[in-house]
Structure 1
Amino acid sequence: MTATDARPNLLGITINHRSMRGDARRFAALVQSIADGTTVSSPARARAVERYLTSLCTGIHHHHQAEDEVLWPVLEAAAGAEVDLTELTDDHAQLDPLLDRLRAEARALSAAPHDRAAAARLAATLTTLRDLLDEHIDDEERTVFPVIMRYVSHAEWERVEAAVRKGSAMSFELPRIERYATGDELAELYRMAGPVLRLMLALVRPAFLRREKVIFG
């Protein structure tokens, strides 16, 4: 097995990982503050939290499904015995029931916005998700990223990224990229994607910011 010459660009997956972790962290803190009574849970805020978390769960599920079905076979074919994906796959299996519980608890809070016990249950599940994502993504970036860079061609990586984009909700994913990328990273994304990215962001940004305001004030 020889290393490939063209190196994949891992900026997109890096920012996606950061956005999942960042959202789990900030929503765990927000919902805990609702459970503590320090943040008011209005019906509008609770509904917006439910909608956002439902989209987040869908995005996380799609991400790990794409890894299982597209990226993992690419890595196994390219790197063979040099990559062991067992633990990462096991983490993915833990995620789906956790995401189902998260959706149900977000619906429960939306139905009863002033129920601090419902908020406490949701906050606990978000905290579990936060910790699982932190551990899982740290492991993945430490063990899988070097394998991608060594053995996966640029063309094959582009095929993986295309499969991920195909099932993504761009109205949700794009403004989160803008939120979590650094200035230098955004500049690189603009160079890579051209003016279409600026146009798409301009279209989806206003609705995203309105929802952010309802949720976080």
Structure 2
Amino acid sequence: MTAPTMNGLIHHAVRRDLARLAAALDPWPDGDRARAQRLERAFANLRRELTHHHEGEDEHVWPFLARTGVEAGLLAEMEAEHGAMSAALAGTATALSRLAQSGSADDAAAARESVEGTRTVVEAHFDHEEKELEPLLRSHEGTPEWKAVTDQLRHRSPGDAGSFFAWLTDGISDEDRAALKATVPAPLTFVLSRALGRRYTKEIAPVWR
């Protein structure tokens, strides 16, 4: 099996979080507002990371692919799918906010339904992107042009980078960790996730334990 790219690793982290969120909502102890508020906070982190990822693709990756001759129609499909995901994420955020206020089993059931709908939308886009675009991106790995794109994608504040790597590695599989190590030196990942990712480690990671 081909090792995942950084794009693939991010997709795996998103899938992992959505699966954990769905599992955390079923079964639901009626009235547990504190738990609901923690889940709302964890989802907000996921939504932020996924939004950042897609904005980077819209701004840098799709224009790069357009310059290499990828059909405009396919890239338009990707942008439309990003819009559908944004709408789904907003709907789930609303459902979780309602649950955080009430803690009720009924609102938890509604939130579960919303999460599952979001998973369907996200999975459809990820499958489409991984099938159609991932092979094309792999063919450009190592070129100066693609390196310039990845440099733009990595441009984040130290705090944001630390939070990103703490999130990316939270629950990561051994196979994905090896792939990450081949892309980012392990000492750098350690420093970013442990030293600069303390907010995630303190506020988000315990939600999934």
Q: Is the 8 A contact 1:62 1:167 kept in 2?
A: no
Paired with 2:150 and 2:94, the residues of 1 have a C-alpha distance of 30
Tell me the residue number matched to 2:16: 22
| Mapping for residues 39-50 of structure 1, pairs under 5 Å | 42-50=32-40
Q: Is the 8 A contact 1:75 1:83 kept in 2?
A: no
* Amino acid corresponding to residue 126 of structure 1 in structure 2: V
Tell me the residue number matched to 1:198: 190
Greater relative contact order, per chain length (Cα 8 Å cut-off, separation 6+): 1
Paired with 2:170 and 2:188, the residues of 1 have a C-alpha distance of 18
SS in 2 for 1:32: coil
Deviation larger for 66-75 or 103-112: 103-112
Q: TM-score, normalised by structure 2?
A: 0.82
* Amino acid corresponding to residue 88 of structure 1 in structure 2: M
How far off is 1:82 after superposition?
Answer: 8.8
Q: State yes or no: 1:12 paired with 2:6.
A: yes
1:12-38 deviations in Å (ceiling 9; x for gaps): 11110111112112212221322xx4x
Deviation larger for 122-131 or 199-208: 199-208
| CA-based RMSD | 2.8
Paired with 2:39 and 2:194, the residues of 1 have a C-alpha distance of 23
SS in 1 for 2:74: coil
Structure 1 gaps of 5+ residues are 1-8
Paired with 1:97 and 1:122, the residues of 2 have a C-alpha distance of 15
Q: Is the 8 A contact 2:167 2:200 kept in 1?
A: no
Q: State yes or no: 1:84 paired with 2:77.
A: no
How far off is 1:130 after superposition?
Answer: 0.8
Q: Is the 8 A contact 2:51 2:86 kept in 1?
A: yes
Q: State yes or no: 1:186 paired with 2:164.
A: no
Question: 2:164 aligned to 169, 173, 179, which one?
Answer: 173
Q: Is the 8 A contact 2:88 2:118 kept in 1?
A: yes
1:70-117 deviations in Å (ceiling 9; x for gaps): 11010010124498223222211112222222222222211112x112
Q: TM-score, normalised by structure 1?
A: 0.79
Distance 1:65 1:82, change over 3 A: closer
How many pairs align? 203
* Amino acid corresponding to residue 192 of structure 2 in structure 1: M
Q: Is the 8 A contact 2:18 2:119 kept in 1?
A: yes
| Mapping for residues 1-217 of structure 1, pairs under 5 Å | 11-34=5-28, 37=29, 42-81=32-71, 84-113=74-103, 115-151=104-140, 154-167=143-156, 169-190=160-181, 192-194=183-185, 195-203=187-195, 204=197, 208=201, 211-213=204-206, 215-217=207-209
How far off is 1:153 after superposition?
Answer: 5.3
Deviation larger for 89-98 or 179-188: 179-188
1:126-150 deviations in Å (ceiling 9; x for gaps): 1011111111111101100112223
Q: Is the 8 A contact 2:54 2:82 kept in 1?
A: yes
Percentage of identical aligned residues = 21
